[in-house]
Structures are given as structure tokens and as C-alpha cells.
Amino acid sequence: MKKTKILVLTWGPYSHASSRIRAWQYLPLFERAGGYAFTVISRVPERFHWYSPILFPLLKRVFLLFRCFAILFLQYDLVYIQRWFLSSFLIKILNVKRTPYIFDFDDAIFLNTPQQPYNSYQTDRMILHAARVIVSSPVLAEYCQNLGVTSQIITTPVDSDHIVQKSYNQLDKPFTVGWIGSVYTTPFLEIAIPALQKISQTIKLRILLIGADRKHIFSGLPVEYMEWSIETENQKLQQMDVGIMPLPDTPWARGKGGYKLYLYMAAGIPVIASPVGINRDIVIHGDSGFLASTQEDWEKYLLLLTQDRSLVETMGQAGRKLVLERYDRRICFELLRRCFNSCLNK
């Protein structure tokens, strides 16, 4: 049986969070389903310390050449593009070859910046010429709708085989407030810091930050910084009693996909989040966690969870159940496969 040939162009390598969870981690499921042959080319290679300072910029250009060569000279049945902008020339080449492409994005990449003043133009071009557009949140879907394009919302999936439900039997440890993110999103934590500082005056807390900027100092708090890795991600999540996702109400933050919340809930951890963007859809207030609009809210809900360990367990279990029902990788995979097949007229 002839396999469907699909070219996948990701923003980053496997270690890049967005690319891993919206592209790379689907490949084993497609392989099990059968009938597909994938070629994956990331925008950049993995960063290894021994070559990064010297060879990384060169390798980045080599990878770009690989992408251009694949589009220009090789034949595929479908191209799946995660976040990356094709040039007008390459889009024309795909049109001439009658090769449809799917465009997937999970952030407000259409926002212009001083460094990237053409983001809006390039995003619009990708959306308008795509056979299908996939987004991670209603805010991004609304942007597409304003262009006259109906997109498919596929939430950023969580691998519930990798992230397992925690045990709740360690009641004598300090209450651990956890956050997982990146250097770039670390400043968002400032929203919850005043509440944490106030609570820590009377309750023994542990603040566990995974992937945060170590140069960002949170004075007066018992902060423990940990590096992120795929191998230890689950084990580190298990140490949390509550997972937080503070966000400012900005255009960029409104477009976020809520992946932190999916991770926390998959691990059986109650959540507290700012009611911004898709967070309002993910968090069932009072069931799997809380939405905190003000400093008083953050303080009230954090204090409530520190004082009621049974509530931590009940909310954690509710979150895990919700992930398995709506946000698991297998569920999102089926939606993605239907998108692929609709473009291929299967």
C-alpha cells in the first residue's frame, strides 16, 4: 500500500516545547495508525554546547536550505507547517505543484514588534493560502475568522502516559506552589508574588520554579529553581501541591494556549490561573481549580488550598479526569488526523 508522504516543518527541534507538543509527539501515533510517511525538518538544530557558539548560526542556514530544497525539488502529498512563515515564492511553488499545506500556530504570532514589524502580514499570508489552519485557542480562531478563514481549534495536547497522577500521601512536607515555564515568561510570576509573600509570613511554603530565569529574584520567598528536561518533567510536577499560571491581560497573553494548566491537571494538581484568554475555558472554577483576578483572589485561593489537603486531592483528581476527557494527546491526534485526511480527500 502506497503511503501518504507528508513534509513537516517545525519551528524548533524536539527540545522546543511548542514544536514537541504540537508536532513531534504526534509522529508515533501516526506511525501506529499506518499509511503515512513523514519527513521532518526543524527550523534550527538541537543546541549542543560544543558547537552552539560557532556552528549554530551556520547550521540554522543549512536547515533553511534543506527546507527550500524539499519544497522546490521533492514531491509530497501534504505539508504541515508549525509556526513558520513561508515566503511568497515558496507558497507559489506549492500551488504550482498542487501541494496543500496546513498552517498551525499556538501563540499570537501576528503581533508586530519593533524587531519583527511584518508579523501580521506574514501570518495573514500563511492563513489565507493554507488548505487548513489549526490554532490552539478561541482567541487565535477569532483572528482567523476576521480574515474570513474558519480554523480548527486543537488545544495543545498533553501526553497523559508521560505525565501521571501524583500521590497525595505526603502531608508533612511544606506546601509546594509550582510553576513551569521559560525565561521569557518568568516575569508573569510577579502577578502572584505579593500574595505568596503575604502567605509565607504565616505558612511554610516552598516555591518550585521549573525552567524559570534564575536571574529573576523573588525576594522574601523560599524559591527553588530547577532546570526543565523531558526526562524529569513528570517527577518535578509530582512535587507540586498547586500549579499556578499568572498572566497579564495583554494581546500576547490572551493568545496563549494554556499548556501549563494541562500539565498541572494531568499530574493531578489543582490550578490557580489568571482569567485571561483560554484559561477561562480550561479552568472550571471551584472544580479543578480557581480563577484569580485580583491580589485578594490569589491570596484567598492559595490560602484555601494550603489549609485543606482534601480539597487539593479532590481538585487534582477532577483536573486529571478533565485532561483525559478533553485534552489528552490521543484525542487531539484524532482531530489532527481528520484535518490531514480532509486535505488529502480521504
Asked if residue 12 belongs to a domain, the reply is yes
Residue-level pLDDT at 281: 96
Asked if residue 166 belongs to a domain, the reply is no
Residue-level pLDDT at 318: 98
Asked if residue 167 belongs to a domain, the reply is no
Range of the domain at 338: 4-157+328-343
Same structural domain, 20 and 83 = yes
Asked if residue 222 belongs to a domain, the reply is yes
Instruction: With a cut of 50, list the residues of the chain below it in pLDDT.
Output: none
Same structural domain, 115 and 195 = no
Residue-level pLDDT at 241: 96
Residue-level pLDDT at 322: 97
d(CA 316, CA 301): 14
Same structural domain, 186 and 64 = no
Residue-level pLDDT at 172: 62
Same structural domain, 89 and 218 = no
d(CA 259, CA 309): 25
Give Cα separations from 38 to 12, 79, 107, 218, 289 (angstroms): 16, 10, 25, 45, 39
Residue-level pLDDT at 57: 83
Strand partners, 22: none
Give Cα separations from 270 to 208, 281, 324 (angstroms): 15, 15, 15
Same structural domain, 222 and 147 = no
pTM (2 decimals)?
0.93
Same structural domain, 339 and 312 = no
Same structural domain, 47 and 83 = yes
Residue-level pLDDT at 46: 84
Asked if residue 169 belongs to a domain, the reply is no
pLDDT tens profile 37-55: 999 999 988 876 556 677 8
